[in-house]
Amino acid sequence: MPTVILVRHGRSTANADGVLAGWSPGVALDDTGRDQAAALAARLAALPLAAVVSSPLQRCQETVRPLLDTRPELPLHTEDRIGECHYGDWTGRKLGELADEPLWKTVQRHPSAAVFPGPEGESLRGMQARAVDAVRDWNDRIEAEHGPDALYVLCSHGDIIKSLVADALGMHLDLFQRISTDPCSVTVIRYTPHRPFLLRLGDTGELTALTPPPRPAAGPEGGAAAGPAADDAVVGGSTGTS
């Protein structure tokens, strides 16, 4: 069965602003994200890729564009099922504000029970199910067209990729917040008839993201300012900012 190179989109304007973008239209890569996308194309240049599959959202399409520009023989396929989680009424809001919502604790500690509010809101279980189905369908299609040793790129979003890794490792979805994927990171899963193998996880080729972030500013009573706790996962995936 094929090996899939899962690429998280490069840093977006929403990442830089600490906003949960979801399916908001017009969320593009920022300057850092465009540099990351160009570097990604160079990192993948020597690999015998069969195809590129991308989320329909602009930030993913922009991430794979430099790769496609240098590899015009590669077909681009757009797949809605690997689009970002539908965060419903959380879409477009600041992550710091969302950390004060009661649902935040469920998302952190019991994500399999989390359903995002509003008519467009999706459950994290539903998000994982559609993403896993999409990858397995694309594995079958790529294998049929290019053989069992084929290698292809799938460009998606932080929570989608984390849920795919959890599935590959046989982890319950409630543990997926232990996984982190930075913008434009590469995660590689080799699928076989009996089990997947995780070959790379969140690889960016650089170590600056390991620098500890600055301490939060003091709140009005002298304590730490409100916002996500130190052990909270970033909903939607790491923002790529310190």
Report all structural domains of the chain as residue ranges with CATH numbers, in order of start: 3-208 (3.40.50.1240)
Q: Give burial (CB, 10 Å; 0-12/13-18/19+) of 55.
A: buried
Confidence check: pLDDT of 225 > 80: no
Q: 6-20, 157-171, 190-204, 215-229 — which is least confidently predicted?
A: 215-229
Nearest to 155 by CA among 51, 43, 241: 51
Q: 45-54, 71-80, 210-219 — which is least confidently predicted?
A: 210-219
Q: What is the mean pLDDT of the chain?
A: 91
Phi, psi of 210 (to 5 degrees): -80, -10
pLDDT for the residue numbered 230: 66
- In 3-state terms, what secondary structure has residue 122? coil
Q: Stretch 70-95: mean pLDDT, rounded?
A: 96
pLDDT for the residue numbered 235: 73
Return the bridge partners of 155, or none. Answer: 7, 54
What are the tokens at 149? 């040793």
Q: Give burial (CB, 10 Å; 0-12/13-18/19+) of 206.
A: exposed
pTM, entire model: 0.87
C-alpha–C-alpha distance, residues 117 and 202, integer Å: 29
C-alpha–C-alpha distance, residues 59 and 26, integer Å: 8
Instruction: Give the model's confidence band at 242: pLDDT under 50 very low, under 70 low, under 90 confident, else very high.
Output: very low
Instruction: Give the model's confidence band at 103: pLDDT under 50 very low, under 70 low, under 90 confident, else very high.
Output: very high
What are the tokens at 75? 């077909």
Nearest to 125 by CA among 93, 159, 156: 159
Instruction: Provide the edge-to-edge strand list for the sheet that holds 186-191.
Output: 76-78, 49-54, 151-156, 3-8, 186-191, 196-203
